[in-house]
Chains A and B, each alone.
Chain A
Amino acid sequence: MINTLAIAERELKSFFVSTVAWVIAAAFMAITGLLFAVLLLNSNDASLRFLFSNLSVIFLFVAPFLTMRLLAEEIRLGTVELLLTNPVRDVEVVLGKFLGVFGFVLVMLAMTLYYPALLYIFGAPDPGPMATGYLGVVLQAAAFLAIGLATSSTTENQIVAAFLAFAINLVLWLSESVSQFVGPPLGAALKFLSITSHFQDFSRGVIDTSHLIFFISVIAAALFLTYLSLQTRRWRA
């Protein structure tokens, strides 16, 4: 546990000293700010529902850039060798890395909290859907990040890690649209795997356990694959 936190803390700190992370955070704020303004002016509705759907697209692109470094760089620099020969369990490495990047995303999301604050000042938004919407965004982002961590553990090339993560995220993101054109058994499976279909209820203000379980399963599966990939790295090394 202490090890997990130490690794997470180191990871989070390294985000704050890296230019890339600041650039991503700045671009993220610029894009969400613009979207918030445009969506608000068009809908004239004191809700964040449309912003949440857009956030989901943004994370589709942003998450791979945040995760590509996590293990790929450690593998390239050889620091993974020190990590794996110290009294730290492989699980702790995986969880620490994940919590570190997740923490950074939480900071990014915290910075968007002034949008609802603005809505409260100038209108009377419904707090329920806003809270569940944020929960949905957080879960979805966590799933994208876990997938990115898994791809980052397979290679020492950060670009490869980012593209792999993006490809997998995109498949999960598009699978609902594809499912409409495919027959029932496969179609149903694709629909079940769709991140978007599981996300939508959250932005409508509904917390459905099946959606919660879906996201938690995706996160757990991706983290488990990361763990396996670290283990096989020992055998292949």
Chain B
Amino acid sequence: MIDVQDLTKDYGSRRAISGISFKVERGEVLGFLGPNGAGKTTTMRIITGFMPPTSGTVTIAGFDIFRQSMEARRHVGYLPESVPLYTEMSVRGYLDFMAKIKGVPRARRSEQIDRAMEATRVQDRAKQLIGKLSKGYRQRVGLSQALLGDPDVLILDEPTVGLDPRQITEVRDLIKEIGRDHAVILSTHILPEVSMVCSRVLIVDDGKEVAVDTPENLVRQLRGSEAVQVSVRGPRAGVMDAIRAVPHVLSVSLAGDEVSDGVASYTVATDPGADVREALAKALVDGGYGLLELRMAGVSLEDVFLRLTTEESDEDDEAGEEAA
């Protein structure tokens, strides 16, 4: 649905994005992740046809965004970062205008507007002036505008910024639902949002593609092997032997040297994909040791993100190649 090839954009001598390529199919939500200034908004502006790239192509539903711009634009719903709205218009009046310029035929306009308002839960403010709405409502009016005309592709630039926690959950659920039969690109710098909503993540840093994969795979790759953290009361040598005897355990090491009252923390590395927690607990209890804590040593998407975007540049290239 969305096919981005080798996109590059220069602002004067500064290269804002360089060589970004990716595809998004119908039914996918691609999370566009990166620190501020990484080129997320620039990329989205190029994809939506707001500005031309220095080089590279964008194809939407088979139409080139610059050579067949009108056809391509008809397939895109866009919510810019600043959520631009005409504040002097009523919600319904605004949506009516947007439906007109999106070419929604008169007969279907009213029904489409109702549907978009219902999906984003703004019906109760239909007659109110946009200027008088709260930030949360404005955000949702912006989103319902993007849904008008039933576009195949949705480009959402930080759609949950400025919403309260309940609204954030609602909007995320809505995006997930939309994602089932649309191609969605969603930019964000809220990491949990990515794992919750997106089926794939594209991490960009300094205008370059750093990684593309599912959130789970990214986390797994970084973790390398699975790891479990345990706190046990008992003599260290005995505890470590007991742990080593559990199947799939690769190694045991003391985590930190903080030992109080005969309690120590251990990091247990295991075969990838193996969950040793039950066997481990049983082994320790059977051995007569006091098991105080046991948990997966989590590598969060946040760790992945920080590592990918703060690595040295040569490692950076490696990560990019792996992803490609």
Contacts and interface: CB of A to CB of B under 8 A. Distances in A.
Interface in B68-123: 70-71, 73-74, 76, 78, 80, 82, 84-89, 93, 97-98, 100-103
B86 A78 contact: no
A79 B323 CA distance: 36
A18 interface: yes
Nearest to B72: A87
Contact of A85 (B48, B85, B97): B48
A14 B84 CA distance: 16
Nearest to A84: B50
Contact of B50 (A17, A79, A237): A237
A6 interface: yes
Nearest to A15: B88
A86 interface: yes
A6 B50 contact: no
Given A82-B78, A234-B50, A87 B84 contact: no
A79 B70 contact: no
Contacts of B86: 10, 14, 77, 79
B50 A10 contact: no
Contacts, number: 71
A83 B82 CA distance: 14
A7 B73 contact: no
B51 A234 contact: yes
Most buried by B among A14, A87, A235, A237: A87
A217 interface: no
Given A14-B88, A85-B78, A234 B52 contact: yes
A3 interface: yes
Most buried by A among B50, B76, B98, B145: B50
A237 B51 contact: yes
Given A79-B84, A85-B78, 14 more contacts: A3-B101, A6-B100, A10-B86, A17-B88, A18-B88, A78-B84, A79-B85, A79-B86, A82-B78, A82-B84, A83-B101, A84-B50, A85-B76, A237-B50
19 contacts: A2-B103, A13-B93, A14-B88, A18-B88, A77-B82, A78-B80, A79-B85, A79-B86, A80-B84, A81-B80, A81-B84, A82-B78, A83-B101, A85-B49, A86-B102, A87-B73, A87-B101, A235-B51, A237-B45
Interface of A: 2-3, 6-7, 10, 13-14, 17-18, 77-89, 234-235, 237
